[in-house]
Amino acid sequence: MDLIEIAAPDFDVDITLAYATPQNFTGEPVYQNAVCYLHEDAAVALTRAIETATNLGYRMRIYDAFRPSEAQWVLWNHTPDPDFLADPRRGSPHSRGVAVDLTLATPDGEIIDMGTGFDAFTPKSHHGNKDISTSAQQNRLILLGIMTQAGWDFYRNEWWHYQLFDSRRYPLVSDAEIPKHMMPSK
């Protein structure tokens, strides 16, 4: 198993997994257990990004990371929108453990304005959108710079989504394959 848990003290990052709460686009928790995992290659890249963010006076807040294949189906069945969700038949970089959804915060945890919230399925969420404030555009560029210098690729439609390059070379992982299950018991 190449997934490792992202948690303190090894990772100095705030973790608020949106899909473990009803504060997500489905309106209901998708994960029963809020455990943050990434593939070890992604964890190395995340460490680099955290270090750069800290040096610039920011904290990072993770909204989602590894997402079991079963969770991808839940999201897709709720909102089958290929502009914002990967079709689970093809697989998501999240379900491979090599994608992270995140934002920047101040050192005391206040979220930085990015022009839209996380999982806002609207063109205003696209990188380079000019229909948001200049400061929000600058904040997105700061996040983009931090993440790309740390080795992450970005998804053009979501300012919060970053994934490793060549993500399809990593295998899909189901809930049954992880140490602490995330999905509700059936």
Q: What are the sequence ranges of the domains in the chain?
A: 15-177
As separate numbers, helices (DSSP H) first and strands (DSSP E) second, the chain gives 3, 7
The yes-or-no verdict on residue 186 having pLDDT over 70 is no
Q: Which of 51, 70, 110, 158 is catalytic?
A: 158
Taking residue 123's Cβ as centre, other Cβ atoms within 10 Å add up to 11
Contact 70, 175 (CB under 8 A): yes
In this predicted model, what pLDDT tens digit does every residue of 57-112 receive, in sequence order?
Answer: 999 999 999 999 999 999 999 999 999 999 999 999 999 999 999 999 999 999 99
**Mean per-residue pLDDT for 164-172?**
96
What's the pLDDT at 185? Answer: 82
What's the pLDDT at 70? Answer: 97
In this predicted model, what pLDDT tens digit does every residue of 119-164 receive, in sequence order?
Answer: 999 999 999 999 999 999 999 999 999 999 999 999 999 999 999 9
Report how far residue 97's alpha carbon sits from residue 174's, in angstroms, rounded to the nearest whole number.
Answer: 10
- In this structure, whether the domain defined by 15-177 belongs to CATH 3.30.470.30 is answered with no
110 among known catalytic residues:
no
Query: What is the pTM for the complete model shown?
Result: 0.96
Contact 92, 86 (CB under 8 A): yes
Residue 182 neighbours by CB under 8 Å, 6+ apart: 20, 31, 32, 33, 34, 35, 68, 71, 175
What's the pLDDT at 96? Answer: 98
What tokens were used for 2? 């190449």
The yes-or-no verdict on residue 36 having pLDDT over 90 is yes
Under the banding of pLDDT at 50, 70 and 90, the label for residue 1 is low
What's the pLDDT at 11? Answer: 97
Contact 62, 14 (CB under 8 A): yes
Q: Any bridge partners for residue 155, and if so which? A: 158
Report how far residue 47's alpha carbon sits from residue 127's, in angstroms, rounded to the nearest whole number.
Answer: 23
